[in-house]
Structure 1
Amino acid sequence: MSRIRSVAVATGASPPSWLVRAVRPRPAQAPPWPAMIRSVIALTAPVAVAVATGNYGVWVMISVGAIAAVLSDTADAYHLRFLNIAVPQFASAVGWLVGASVQGHGWVVVAVMVGVAFVSGFVSSIGPVSSLTGLLFLLMAVIGAGMPVPGPWFQPPLLLMAGGLLVCALSLLGWPLRRHTPQRTAVAAVYHSVADALDAAGTERWSAAMATVAKSVNSAYDLLLLRRARHPGRDPHSRRLLARLNAATPLLEALPAAHGAAQPRTPQAGTAVRTLARAIAEDRPAPWPRLSSGTPEDDALHAALQHATGVHAGTAEAHQPAAGAAGWVTRLRSGARTLFGGGAGLQYGLRLALCIGLAEALVTLVDLPRSYWVALTVTFVLKPDNGSVFTRALLRAAGTLGGVLLAGAVLELVPRGGWELPVIALAALALPLASARSYAFQTASITVLIVLFSDMLGHQGASLVGARVIDTLVAVAIVLTAGYLLWPGARRPRTGARLARSLRDTAAYASLLDPRDKAAAADRSAARRRAYRSLSEVRTAFQQALTEPPPVSTRATAWQPLLLCQERILESLTATATRLDHGATPPPPADSTTVAEALRTLADTIAAPESARTATLRTPAALLTLPDDSPLAGTAAEIHTAFTVTEGPDRVGRASDVPRG
């Protein structure tokens, strides 16, 4: 990014904001030393054995298999680590066998790779593990079809799986001593984020703090409910942690009321919640909190913190239980609905198959060196859950260029026979850290490793450098042309569709606000979590769209006022619910129905094409005729503002910024 700004200063021009956002690395965090050490051992030790024994064909292939496992080793919980590594590694072995079975058969390779790409893209929409599984299935099929390897046909997939098993074994070494630590850390992170939000209440840091709260809550529930689904009722420690996480619900609901209170919060509240967070993380008793009271907001916060402390001590029960974890049949049906009920998997499968087909057809017609790298790069750039395709193509090209220049210097200056080991160790050490900062940094680290490993297997020296650059640029051109510029809908932001979905989830929450309906208490808590999760997804889609070139980034910017309105609407509803739970006069059921109907109408307005908006939109005043003393009057005012923003004169690209379908 500094280089871009330097060029801009020299030419007297300012770089476009979308480009600066696209290339800006993520904020630096504490180095992930355990993952970095595992990476060094898994990638360097087999190569050291290869140098010592001279058997490069076997031991270097183990290191190649370990690269994918190192990239997969991102989960905190141990059972997720095993799942994230083992399932994709098995798929990679199957992919290699499929590719190797058609190696050297010309257009048969093209046809098979198109089919493999479609299957890979189709299953990638189910979830993170499926996405990684589909990615490695396709990657190894491409390598198996394009890279001849000596030895029996079954040896390469077994060696690749051995590399994955090595990383898996290293990753699980701490399991006997730290079995529940990741889950405790995730629950404690929720309370730490609540404490930070209390400190930020009433300040400009509030929105960012609440985004962190939503992310930590989503991560904790995903982690604990998956564990509960795999071992229902068998793990008392996990049940206690889930109860402590559920006990945070009243605190989460008290946050918007604390933010909107007339009097600023004292540091006492944040300190007390942070003390409880540390006690949860260290699995030790927490002191009983003593907070000042006097206002409904203070009373709600005090009661919520005392309840959470009581649940942690085992003297109280979480009265906001999470939805029970589904059995395997229900989860299978849910996955099938995700796979076949929507168009995301089909669209991505077709998009990936088209680009892979073009890449394989091109290398069949044109003699490119190391030609299988074209399809490999296409696969990496088009991975569906890693953000903007354009940004990834840009960063992939930049990272590859930096990586091959470094690898070329090593091949020219460092003698063979084991002197490469320090360079491999440094690249392996940097890989987890680089992956956390930028896709370009990750690509550069992987490129150094792959070029050096390829030289050990084929002894082609610096000729690999030019081949890698050519293949990458060809692949980036294919993706940007067929998978981005010409692909229908690729240059249209998805923010509007997700914002409409978020508003519908908020409407469902609004319809359950009546505290007199005790039977709906659990449903109300679940509906609030769904609404905040949807809002978090909208924020993510918005940030990704801002890194696209115009017109995508320009149109995405037009959604920002509505996104802010949606945040205020949901916070207003949550603050109202907290006051109602602590004695405020509840609104008539008709008021909740009116607000929910207005939110659904607003969602339909946003999702509708321009030609249908006038028919969809109804006058907000007719919907929001609530009395000024209604507990929902503030929410109604926020919804009215959102309608005004939707139809206001300052909207950008109104006819084309709403995604279709």
Structure 2
Amino acid sequence: MADQQRRERALRAPAWLEELVRTTPPPVPWRDVARFAVAIPGPLVLAVLLGGLDSRVALGAGVFGTMGALAASLAPQPGPLRDRMRRIGAATAFGMLGLLAGQYASGGGWEPVVVIAALSGFAALVSAVNAAFSLGALQLLIYTALASGLVTPLPAAVEVGFFLCGAGWATLIALVQARTDPLDPDRAAVAAVFTRIAELLAAVGTDSAPAARRALTTALNAAYDRVIRSRSRSPGLSRELSELAGVLNAAAPLVEGAVAAARAGVPADPCDVSAGHAFAAALTGSGELSSERPRPLQGGHPSMRAVRHGVRLVWNVVGDPEERASAAAPSPAPSPRARLREVVDRTLGSRDTRSFAVRLSLCMTVAEIVRQYLPIERPYWVLLTVAIILKPDFGSVFTRAVQRGVGTLLGVLLGSALLVVLPHDAWVLAALTVSAAVLPWARDTNFGMFSVFQTPLIILLLDLALPSEPGLVAARLLDTLVGCAIVLVFGYLLWPQTWRAPLDEALRDAVLALDAFVDAAFTGGPVERRRARRRNYRALTELQTQLQRRLAEPPPISTRAAAWWPVIVQLERTSDAVTEAVIATRGGEPAPDPAQVAVLRRAIRRLEDDVRTPGAVDDAELHAEGVLAPVAREVDAARRLVREAAPGRRTGHRAAPPVAPGGTALWDGPVPKDPPPLTLPPLDGPPPPGSRTVTTDDGVDLHVEFDGPAGGGGAGGDTDAPLTVVLCHGFTARLAEWEVQREALRGRARLVLWDQRGHGRSGWTPLTRATIDRTGQDLGQVLDAVVPSGPVVLAGHSMGGMSILALARQRPELFGTRVVGALLLATSAGGLVDTGPAGFLVKTGRRLGLLSLYLRLLQLLAPFLERRRRRDTWLGRRAIRRLLFGRDDADPRSVRMVQRLLEETPLPVTMAFYATFLDHDETAALPVLRRVPVTVVAGTHDRLTPAAHGRRIAEAIGADAELVVVPGAGHSVNLTRRAVVDRALLDLLDRVEHRTRKAG
């Protein structure tokens, strides 16, 4: 939450830099902490106990043993024990090879340069084989660098022997932990999702259903975070993690069905509850699924059928008979020639791998030349820095360089401080143990945090073998900076292809996988269909991983990557639509026409062409019938998004931004601004015919207007309308700010618009209460007076949204009964001045007792200032341009129109409301809104209620909230991005009506 507030505050760092340094503290992996604390310092402690701290031989043996333990300890990651042992074996073997090769990379001359260049190229090539070899290649370079500069009295063979002994000791500890681990944490997190689904289904119709729903949301977030974090830490491709991500993707329809059943209060079939627990048991290995997939339900409530549909979909992934059969009878192993051909294709046959090998060799060669010719105290530290930054495969070089550089600088200061403060005795071992114990948590945080604690460990370890003076701190810092500079210049800036996000290729692969999935779904057999579906979801998972890596790069890479985000989400929606179409066909729906399938596949292949090269814009919509109709709509949306996201293309206006379901925030991509309306209805003159006045319980007259389904409505509007939309305007505005939405909603629902107290035509007295709590009561009394019955959708902009939240807190019984939906536009649930300079000033003013005095002084001066107020000034336009408009929507006509609208509100009203925004907190209302569909709209350049506030609202509401974030838009998004807001309102009404029909 705090990170999102900092990203959106007015004085903020660039988004790519915030992404670079952003950290979300992970849970502490206590079992790994204990393993590292025992395994890593163990060999050194044993050597000191046997030979003491004064024995150079004993210390050398202990240092190399601890190096081996460090390599073996860092190798295991969550996953099957066999994979963990493979990683340990690869790290140990390649580390040993590095120690031996390091003997030939020391000294001067051209021989060390050749050795380093050859080893670097070899390490880059073998990294493409698999994850274990990738990790081993990193250890090869690290220990080559260390061996090139670390001198001990031990022969090389003895050093390698102690290294292997330390690695064996750490392997033993890892085996003990693996045998005592209750479960692989990644699989446990995914299994917990299905346990929570089963608990929610069992709780339908009881008081515990809301708590079970929140527990399911928490489990889903934890599972996705766990799998994504493990994938980002994996040194190479991991089939295990891809499969788990596929299981989570497949669980989406089941989650939606379970939530729908809970909302409707329809008990689930007991078989579906048991299936949820069975899925969890199958994932953890404590049970097996039945050999027969559950049959579809032919009757019953739609939510029951949706749950069974989701169960069957998950069964296809978790309980795939093909996978169980292959596990029982493995397919014949490929021949040695076939394996060799596959390895050659992945290494020498891959252009990316060859390019990476050249970059790595160049950087390491430059580092070796620097080592020989610059007067550096610890030259091997430059090689070590370059290897650690550049080697971990094909991820973000810039991110690792910055995080490694900053983390190492902090780590050097910490390690050097420990050497100065601690005596040269057992206290050094204690500090080394603490540093080792923190490594598992730091590794889960980010690369920079890992460097902060890894660096002191290495400094303490090497200082025991090669003591240094305290003045070496500056030298270590210089070495680190030199290494970072080498990587940034020779591994990043000199390679233009690294400036471009490698998402295009991954996106094309995902599109081709989707095309193959559509082909297999409607023309292939069950086996081909399952394989194509898994390949499709794996491609999407890899695409998401590449996106996250590139978001931390500087522009233009980060902005280029962010532009593809809505496309990726849309491809996921399309894949889900194909899956649903397949299941519908199995359930008895007519099979699609092969000609329509062919047209659909041509459109998907055209997506691949659009990603690859710019082409002519094709605005023709896809049309299909039957089960293909939803798929065609999703593909059509994907085509529009690709045209808008691709570089160098400008397309026409997109009226309907895609919105991700289930509370997922979706960055909407570039949306052209709307032309501003030339005029708004004037405030002077008589009120429109049919208007009413509602007098509140504290005596304030509120002005209310109506707009019926047919454009009219009498004195009270059309009370027979099936749905009423109540529009609440923002601070210092009036109901006319919704004028541009009236036309879109006219004929669709009965409209009620009202002026909040002190605004527009509504009344005001000097004793009027000016608080959000009071405006929430006003809204409730307007509903009671003019909408006494029938379903109501509330829409609020800025302070209007806050009034809706206040009403939800005050009268929660209305929501889910009378109030059936809500649109929250550019608003906040609280914390408007918690951060940034404004927050500091407010807190300081409160602490000194000056804030209340200042606000009271403003209210006293307001009448005097109002009499001398000048309107329509250049300075006023500048302030409104800054505060209410975004990057792309501040044309002069819009600014002047909004200025005239807002300056109609008297200063006494304006200043009376200031205090309520400082203390505004309606977070207690958010659980109430979970009862109804909610749409939250926010602008990326909103300086009054930043987009982070909208995200927090959507996240707190959960599955029934949809978030539309409009890029470049400011606070007046309903006036400047009319089409986006219109479509958000219409989509919300569609969701409300759909839920009403389902509820019967």
Within the alignment, does 1:51 sit opposite 2:48 as a pair?
yes
* Alpha-carbon distance in structure 1 between the residues aligned to 2:569 and 2:85: 40
Within the alignment, does 1:443 sit opposite 2:451 as a pair?
yes
Shift of 1:331: 5.0
Partner of 2:19: 21
Within the alignment, does 1:294 sit opposite 2:300 as a pair?
yes
SS in 2 for 1:172: helix
* Alpha-carbon distance in structure 2 between the residues aligned to 1:463 and 1:571: 61
Counterpart of 1:584, as a letter, is E
Shift of 1:337: 2.1
- Evaluate the alpha carbon distance shift between residue 566 and residue 206 of structure 1 in structure 2; reply closer, same or farther with a 3 A threshold: farther
Q: Deviations over 1:184-225 (max 9, x none)?
A: x76565443456689889x99999799679869999x96679
Shift of 1:99: 2.0
Shift of 1:175: 5.6
Partner of 1:41: 38
Q: Deviations over 1:85-119 (max 9, x none)?
A: 11221111112212203422422111210111111
Partner of 1:647: 643
SS in 1 for 2:156: coil
Counterpart of 1:275, as a letter, is H
Q: Deviations over 1:545-583 (max 9, x none)?
A: 111111111111221222222122111111111211211
SS in 2 for 1:577: helix
Choose 259-268 or 82-91, whichever is displaced more: 259-268
Q: Deviations over 1:36-90 (max 9, x none)?
A: 2121112222222233222211112211222222211224322222111112211
Q: Which has the higher strand share?
A: 2
Partner of 2:437: 429
Shift of 1:308: 8.0
* Alpha-carbon distance in structure 2 between the residues aligned to 1:5 and 1:225: 32
* Alpha-carbon distance in structure 2 between the residues aligned to 1:632 and 1:81: 44
SS in 1 for 2:499: coil
Please tell me the root mean square deviation across aligned C-alpha atoms, in Å: 4.3
Could you tell me which of 92, 96, 105 is aligned with 1:89?
Answer: 92
SS in 2 for 1:432: helix
Within the alignment, does 1:578 sit opposite 2:583 as a pair?
yes
Within the alignment, does 1:163 sit opposite 2:161 as a pair?
no
- Maintained 8 Å contact 1:370/1:468: yes
Trace 1:376-525 onto structure 2 (pairs within 5 A): 376-385=384-393, 387-514=395-522, 520-525=525-530
Shift of 1:463: 3.7
Partner of 1:546: 551
* Alpha-carbon distance in structure 2 between the residues aligned to 1:460 and 1:132: 31
* Alpha-carbon distance in structure 2 between the residues aligned to 1:75 and 1:63: 23
* Alpha-carbon distance in structure 2 between the residues aligned to 1:464 and 1:60: 20
Shift of 1:482: 1.2
Specify every segment of 5 or more residues in structure 1 that has no aligned partner in the other structure, as ranges: 227-241, 656-661
* Alpha-carbon distance in structure 2 between the residues aligned to 1:217 and 1:97: 32
Partner of 1:562: 567
Q: Give the TM-score normalised by structure 1.
A: 0.81
* Alpha-carbon distance in structure 2 between the residues aligned to 1:391 and 1:497: 21
Could you tell me which of 587, 594, 597 is aligned with 1:592?
Answer: 597
* Alpha-carbon distance in structure 2 between the residues aligned to 1:384 and 1:352: 11
* Alpha-carbon distance in structure 1 between the residues aligned to 2:562 and 2:316: 45
- Evaluate the alpha carbon distance shift between residue 654 and residue 379 of structure 1 in structure 2; reply closer, same or farther with a 3 A threshold: farther
Within the alignment, does 1:275 sit opposite 2:277 as a pair?
yes
- Maintained 8 Å contact 2:246/2:538: no
- Maintained 8 Å contact 1:348/1:384: no
* Alpha-carbon distance in structure 2 between the residues aligned to 1:260 and 1:42: 46
* Alpha-carbon distance in structure 1 between the residues aligned to 2:229 and 2:296: 25
SS in 1 for 2:498: coil
Partner of 2:769: none
* Alpha-carbon distance in structure 2 between the residues aligned to 1:311 and 1:540: 21
Q: Deviations over 1:126-179 (max 9, x none)?
A: 22111111111122222222322322121222222222111111111256666x
Trace 1:239-250 onto structure 2 (pairs within 5 A): none
- Maintained 8 Å contact 2:186/2:223: no
* Alpha-carbon distance in structure 2 between the residues aligned to 1:400 and 1:207: 35
Shift of 1:419: 1.7
- Evaluate the alpha carbon distance shift between residue 298 and residue 112 of structure 1 in structure 2; reply closer, same or farther with a 3 A threshold: same
- Evaluate the alpha carbon distance shift between residue 61 and residue 402 of structure 1 in structure 2; reply closer, same or farther with a 3 A threshold: same
Within the alignment, does 1:531 sit opposite 2:531 as a pair?
no
* Alpha-carbon distance in structure 2 between the residues aligned to 1:599 and 1:90: 46
Counterpart of 1:302, as a letter, is R
Partner of 1:235: none
- Evaluate the alpha carbon distance shift between residue 488 and residue 250 of structure 1 in structure 2; reply closer, same or farther with a 3 A threshold: closer
- Maintained 8 Å contact 2:123/2:138: yes
Q: Deviations over 1:352-398 (max 9, x none)?
A: 00111111111211121111111111111112437311111111111
Partner of 2:620: 621
Within the alignment, does 1:127 sit opposite 2:130 as a pair?
yes
Larger radius of gyration: 2
- Evaluate the alpha carbon distance shift between residue 8 and residue 297 of structure 1 in structure 2; reply closer, same or farther with a 3 A threshold: closer
Partner of 2:686: none
Partner of 2:356: 348
Counterpart of 2:94, as a letter, is A
* Alpha-carbon distance in structure 1 between the residues aligned to 2:314 and 2:503: 36
Within the alignment, does 1:192 sit opposite 2:196 as a pair?
no
Counterpart of 1:527, as a letter, is A
Q: Which gives a bigger RCO, structure 1 or 2 (Cα 8 Å, sep 6+)? A: 1
- Evaluate the alpha carbon distance shift between residue 248 and residue 652 of structure 1 in structure 2; reply closer, same or farther with a 3 A threshold: closer
SS in 2 for 1:583: coil
Shift of 1:453: 1.0
Equivalences, count: 615
SS in 2 for 1:151: coil
* Alpha-carbon distance in structure 1 between the residues aligned to 2:325 and 2:473: 53
Partner of 1:66: 69
Specify every segment of 5 or more residues in structure 2 that has no aligned partner in the other structure, as ranges: 53-57, 201-212, 651-1000
* Alpha-carbon distance in structure 2 between the residues aligned to 1:189 and 1:317: 20
Q: Which has the higher helix share?
A: 1
Partner of 2:729: none
- Evaluate the alpha carbon distance shift between residue 285 and residue 601 of structure 1 in structure 2; reply closer, same or farther with a 3 A threshold: closer
Q: Percent identity?
A: 29
* Alpha-carbon distance in structure 1 between the residues aligned to 2:132 and 2:492: 25
Counterpart of 1:382, as a letter, is L
* Alpha-carbon distance in structure 2 between the residues aligned to 1:555 and 1:28: 29
SS in 2 for 1:378: helix
Shift of 1:632: 0.8
